[in-house]
Structure 1
Amino acid sequence: MKTTVVAVINQKGGTGKTTTTINLGSALSKLGKKVLLIDLDPQSNLSYSLAVANPDGTLADVLLGTAAIKDILVETGGMWVAPGSNDLVDVEISLVTQPEREKFLKQILAEVKGFDYVLIDCPPSLSVLTLNALTAAHEVLIPLQMEVLTLQGLDQIMNTISKVKKAFNPKLKIKGIVVVMFDSRRKLSQEVLEYLQENVKEKIFKSHIRLNVKLAEAPSFGKSVLDYDASSNGAKDYKALAEEIAGA
């Protein structure tokens, strides 16, 4: 079985990274794929959103070498989760002084077998942890809101990916851009999307994730939106995105 490792990245907070990681993972699992979610964000919003509370171990323990990744995985909602924790802040500080500090996660994921997809929820910064994700990944998925500042942020992301490709991971590819929190009634949303379509060479997925209150509600119940309300626009949009990605 070939495992595809995907880093979900945007250096801004509140851009739909965690929402996309969880719900794309859930949609892929419902297509029959075996999915592992990696919560690499010290805020551990992914773990919280799937009601993974007080796990026996976290990714911080694995990165520190005090636990094996297979021993910390938690099954929930048809997926597996490597939980995050606030201890990742301390881990990041300790990694800065380590030789080959960018390769720790890649070495850890080499021990993981039997998954079709590993989706990494990256921190909202271009940090050592994010560098680890990009070095470990085969592909990058970029969730983008249709806002003016998005365009500036996209340039920074592309620049970082280019540097990582040159220095650490020459096979890294950009899987594509996912339009999130899309409101077709807003003129600005349409204008930014048209600008991206005309000026960005990377793939922009046809499946846009619409603004949807169910997406915001689902984490309160510890579920993906597909398990919380399968008939919602949020569930339909992520199902369409999963089909687009799995069929690519």
Structure 2
Amino acid sequence: MKTNVVAVINQKGGTGKTTTTINLGSAISKLGKKVLLIDLDPQSNLSYSLAVSSPTGTLAEVFQGEKSINDVMVEKNGLWVVPGSNELVDIEISLVSQPDREKFLKSILAQAKGFDYIFIDCPPSLSVLTLNALTAAQEVLIPLQMEVLTLQGLDQIMNTVQKVKKAFNPKLKIKGIVVVMFDVRRKLSLEVLEYLRENVQEKIFQSQVRMNVKLAEAPSFGKSVLDYDAASYGAKDYAALAEEYLKV
């Protein structure tokens, strides 16, 4: 069984990266796929958003060799989660001096069997942990707000992906860009989207994720938006994205 490993990255915080990891993963799982989410961010927003509190173990302990990835997996509403923790900051520091420092996560994920998709919620920086995610993944997904500054950040992401592809992971490819927090009423949003379509060669998913209060509320209830309010725009947008994602 082939597992698709997807790194969800954006070096800017607050861009919908964690929201996309959770809700796209949830939508894909509801289409009959077995999905594992990896919380690689020391802020552990993904774990918090799915109410994974007091887990028996975290990803940091797996990096340290104290536990296997299978020991720390938690099931939440049909999704499997490997919790993050603040200790990933220490892991990142320790990795800097390690030989083959970029390959630790790849060997960890090789122990996770039976999954159709593994989505990695990366830290909001192009760090050693993110480098591990890009080395372990076959695909990169980039959630992007339609703001001017995100265009500059997109260039940095593209350059990093190309460097990792050349140095460590020749099979790595960009799956596409997901337009998130989209407000069709804002002229700037439409202008930035038009610029992207004209100037970026990578795929831009047709399914856009609109601004939606239910997306912001769902983490407070420890659920994906599809489990919190299936009739909301947020749930419908991620369901549509999942359908499109699986066809690409």
Match of 1:195, SS? helix
How far off is 1:77 after superposition? Answer: 1.3
- Give the match for residue 172 of structure 1: 172
Using the alignment, how far apart are the partners of 1:129 and 1:54 within structure 2? 23
Relative to the length of structure 2, the TM-score reads: 1.00
In the alignment, what sits opposite 2:212? 212
After TM superposition, the runs of 4+ consecutive aligned structure 1 residues lying more than 2 A away are none
How many percent identity over aligned positions? 82
Does residue 1:93 correspond to 2:93, yes or no? Answer: yes
Deviations 1:200-232 (A, max 9, x none): 000000000000000000000000000000000
CA shift digits 1:101-131 (9 cap, x unpaired): 0000000111111000000000000000000
- State how 1:1-248 maps to structure 2 within 5 Å: 1-248=1-248
Deviations 1:128-177 (A, max 9, x none): 00000000000000000000001100000001001000100011000000
Tell me how far apart the structure 2 counterparts of residues 60 and 77 of structure 1 sit (CA, whole Å): 24
The count of residues paired between Structure 1 and Structure 2 equals 248
Looking at structure 2, the residues matched to 64 and 95 of structure 1 have their Cα atoms a distance apart, in angstroms, of 10
In the alignment, residue 133 of structure 1 is paired with which amino acid?
A: A
TM-score (norm 1): 1.00
1:8-39 Cα offsets, whole Å, 9 max, x none, are 00000000000000000000000000000000
| d(CA) in 1 for partners of 2:36, 2:86 | 20
State the shift of 1:90 in Å.
0.4
Q: Residue type of the partner of 1:94?
A: S
Query: Pairwise CA RMSD of aligned residues?
Result: 0.4
The 3-state SS of whatever aligns with 1:70 is helix
Deviation at 1:246, TM superposition (A): 1.0
Cα deviation, residue 2, structure 1: 1.1
Q: Helix, strand or coil: the match of 1:85?
A: coil
Structure 1: stretches of 5+ with no match in the other structure:
none
Amino acid at match of 1:61: E
Please give the secondary structure, in 2, of the residue aligned with 1:239.
helix
Unpaired runs of 5+ residues, structure 2, are: none
SS of the aligned residue for 1:54 comes to: coil
Q: Secondary structure at the match of 1:207?
A: coil
C-alpha distance in 2 between matches for 1:2 and 1:126:
27
Alpha-carbon distance in 2 for matches of 1:19, 1:134: 19
User: How far apart, in 2, do the equivalents of 1:63 and 1:206 lie?
Assistant: 37
**Shift in Å at residue 247 of structure 1?**
1.6
